[in-house]
Every structure is written in structure tokens, then in C-alpha cells.
Amino acid sequence: PTQLSKGVGSRFLSPDWVPDGDYIVVSRAAPRRGLEKLWLYHVDGGTGLEMVGGPGGMRLMGPAIDSEGRYVWHSQRNGTWSYNAILPQYQLWVYDRQTGTRTPMTDRYGSAFRPTLSPDGVWLAYGSRHDADTGIRLRRLDSGEEHWLAHPVQRDDQESTANMDVLPGYSFTPESDALVISYGGGIWRVPVDGSDPSEIPFTVNARVAVGPEVSFEYPIEDTPTFIVKQIRNARPSPDGSRIVFTALDRLYTATLPDGVPERLTDEEIGEFEPIWSPDGSSVAYVTWDDDAGDGHIKRVSADGGSPSTVTTAPAYYQQLAWSPDGDRIVAIRSSRRNVQEAIDPFIGLGLDAEFVWVPSGGGDLTVIGPTGGRQQPHFTSDPDRIYSYGRSRADPVVGSPADGPTTLALVSTRWDNTDVKQHLRVTARIDVSAGSVADGYQLSETSDLVMPQEFDEDGEARELIPERSAGLVLMAPQGD
């Protein structure tokens, strides 16, 4: 073998030949230069040339060059790894050697990594994850259409440091009609036409130490009935005699204090965030149907039965509030794609969230206005004002050129989202005794105040007390 690289302390991953056979591109982490970048080495050796660089914390791995030698595909992420990692961790990018530009080419929730290209330039294969299993995606480059070629394969290394790349290497056959890849303890030829993979036989002499089998029995209750360990969105009725809640994504009611829970509907879709009508005769709630990919606001008798759909258009509805006169239901609405295209479970209110209202008996929806960082709409006994909590900017003082300050506060508005009134802001000092203090300040030796390290010229100390706002503040139903 011939040594191509020079230097001490570098880390190299996933080399690939440039089509002319004179160069090799490889992921290299050079000492004191951050994480892996793409380097080019001549087959005769040398110091190498950084072909694709970037900030020290950006990681470029698994280069694959097209048959013309112009485009370099690679996976990219920020940092080496993250604790309690949430997908996605990697995505595919392309570097154009002719123009020097880089372009993102994937946006998959399961990540995208370890690309390889077919010799005829038709196919791109890369690793990704679906649910808990890793697989290989196959994309036709001229149309962008893609599908799973092999799933599942060997588990990827996304949650760890991937110090040998995220997935073992694999390659197309010279005819570009199949992928040769190892998984499941064997080497396989996987045809691109979707026909069954065939195992490539091989033998190896090895001595492998095998420890004792570790096996435990965990009893799983499979009786017709069982105790639910978690309920959500519990709401007492206006007279306090009953409670409605969600369990196992279905609505239940029970008489307080020890009544037997009963289903409110017989529908097989997700039922969430129930609220009572002011007179306690009905329950409104939001739904989400994974199969249809949509949600609605529905209403059902408090005694159960067939629900009616209040909304006419599907969306992602949340956080209902029934006006005290019983005429309208307020909700937060955002588009369905917030759920359908979510890359993680932390959707929040949605990117286009807005307050809306709909007649409690059903009908067309009316937009109140953007949530603007506010949430939890609710009422007192006054049907003319809608209360909410969150980021708020008070209306400016008449005659003043400046806008009101932005803060977290309990606010109320009219039904057209105007006349914003801030009612209450709740804050607390942050305990800095066990943590750090901002640069330029220090904890006072005689009090719990954070003081500047340097005083003003007149000797006055500019007191800085770090504060945090309350997570949620609500009005009592009667407004008292």
C-alpha cells in the first residue's frame, strides 16, 4: 500500500475515487481545524487540498462523486452528536466543483446520509430512517422520484459520534442494475428494479466470543379491561358534578367523585381538548385523523351519542374556548401541513397559527387574528372580550410615537383582535446562586442581587436582576 496523506493527528472517513482515477476525495478532520471537511488527494500522495470547507462545527461526511466528476454529494450536520438526539441529524448536500456552490438536496425527518451514485448517472442511493429502522432510499436523478430500495438494513449510527461514518459503505454494480450492500450478517445484491435481493455467499474463519444469553420476562397485561395510567385535558362540568377527559386518544366522562368512565362517542379518531358548553349540556372538542390527515372541531351531547362537526373546513385546531353566552367557540387554527410535514413531535401552535371563532351550532369560520405568540384563549363572564396569555405588545399611548413594550402577559382583546389590554404580568427572580452570571456582572456579596462589575462614574450601581415570566396565567371563569 501507498500512503497518500501526510501529517499527524488527522481523522479520515469514507474515501471515494474521482472518475479520472488520479484523485481521491475523503472526509478529513484536521488537527485544530474543527470537524470533517472534504479533502482531495492525488494518488501519488502529498499534503492534500481542502475542496469543501466551512465553519469548524460543520461536519461533512461520505463524499460521492458523479460520473462526470463535477458534482460531489455528501451528508452534512452541525456538531459531532447531540444528547437525546431528535431527528433529523443529517441531510444531503451537493457541491458543484465548477461553480463552487453548495445546494441542499434532502429534507427528510429520518435524516439522509452515506450517498452513493450509479456509474450510469441515473440513480442516487442513500441511507435514511423510518420509525426505528434504517433503510436505503433510491432516487432517480432526472425526475427526483424516489422510494425505499431496501428496508430495513443495518442500524445507522446517528445517535453516536459516527466515527466510521453513519453507515457502512456500499456500491452499485458496474452495470448500475443493482446495489451491493451488507446487512443482516450477509452481503446482498439488491436489484434496482425492485426484484428480490440475492445473498452473495462468502465464508470467513473467525473466533468470536459469545457471552451468556441475557433474557428477562416482562409481563404485559392483556385482559379485556385495564387501568389507564394517564389522562389528558381533564375539565370539570360547570356545576362540578362531572368530568370530561381524554384517555387513549378517546373522550370519556365520569360522575365525580368516583363514577365509572364512559365513552362519549363511538368514533375511531383522535379526540382531544374537550370543553363544556356554559349550560353543561354539550361537549366540544378537536379531532385529528391520521389516515385522512385532517382535523375538525366537533360537538356531542354531554350524555353521549353521535357527534356533529362544527367546522366546515379541515385544519389543525387547538385550545377551544366556549363564549359565556353559548353562541360561539373560539379556537387556535393552523394549517394541516404543520402536522403532516412535521419533522419532530414538538409542533406547538403551528407556523401560521391564528385565533378563529365558529358558531357553536356549526357554520362558517371567522378569523379573529394571528396569535402572535399568545395561547390559551378563555373567557370570564364577559362575552365581549377574549383573554389569552403570551407575547404581547400593548397599544401605544395616544400621541406617543413609540410602540408599547413587548412582554409576556395576560391580555384581552375584542372579537376583531383590537383594543389589546394587558392585565397582569407575573415574574420571578432567577436563582443565580447555582449558576453563572452574565459577562460584566457579579453576584453581590451582601444580597441576592446581580451587580455590575464596574460602576458608573457617579458611583451608582446599575442593578440587574434576571427575571423569568410565568408559564401561564388565566382569569377565573367569573372574572373575580
Residue 33 and residue 154 in one domain: yes
Distance (Å, whole) CA 144 – CA 122: 10
Residue 179 and residue 239 in one domain: no
> What are the φ/ψ torsions at residue 337 (nearest 5 degrees)?
-65, -20
- Which cell numbers hold the place of 325? 353566552
SS3 457: coil
> Kind of pairing, strands 242-247 and 171-172?
unpaired
- What does the pLDDT profile of the chain (480 residues) look like in tens digits? 788 887 777 899 999 999 999 999 999 998 777 899 999 999 998 889 999 999 999 999 999 999 999 999 999 999 998 888 889 999 999 999 998 999 999 999 999 999 999 999 999 999 999 989 999 999 999 889 999 999 999 999 999 999 999 999 999 999 999 999 999 999 999 999 999 999 999 998 999 999 999 998 888 888 888 888 899 999 999 999 999 999 999 999 999 999 999 999 999 999 999 999 999 999 999 999 988 889 999 999 999 999 999 999 999 999 999 999 999 999 999 988 888 887 777 788 888 899 999 999 999 999 999 998 899 999 999 999 999 999 876 555 555 555 655 779 999 999 999 998 999 999 877 665 555 565 556 667 776 666 665 555 555 444 455 577 899 999 999 887
* pTM attached to this predicted model: 0.55
Whole-number pLDDT of residue 51: 94
Q: Is residue 208 part of a domain?
A: no
Residue 241 and residue 317 in one domain: yes
Residue 125 and residue 114 in one domain: yes
Residue 477 and residue 391 in one domain: no
Distance (Å, whole) CA 387 – CA 319: 12
Q: Is residue 215 part of a domain?
A: no
Q: Is residue 217 part of a domain?
A: no
SS3 403: coil
- 147, containing H or E segment: strand 146-150
Sheet-wide strand order for 123-130: 113-117, 123-130, 133-140, 146-150
Residue 252 and residue 137 in one domain: no
SS3 230: coil
Residue 389 and residue 464 in one domain: no
- 254, containing H or E segment: strand 250-255
Q: Is residue 401 part of a domain?
A: yes
- Domain end call among 179, 200, 221: 200
In total, how many domains does the chain have? 3
Residue 404 and residue 457 in one domain: no
Its domain, for residue 264, covers 232-424
- Within 10 A of 440 (CB to CB), how many other CB atoms are there? 9
CATH of the domain at 301: 2.120.10.30
Residue 287 and residue 192 in one domain: no
Whole-number pLDDT of residue 436: 56
Could you give the C-alpha distances from 155 to 6, 29, 128, in angstroms and in order? 33, 24, 10
Whole-number pLDDT of residue 463: 46
Whole-number pLDDT of residue 349: 86
Residue 166 and residue 58 in one domain: yes
Residue 295 and residue 258 in one domain: yes
- Contact at 8 Å (CB) between 40 and 51? yes
Residue 38 and residue 19 in one domain: yes
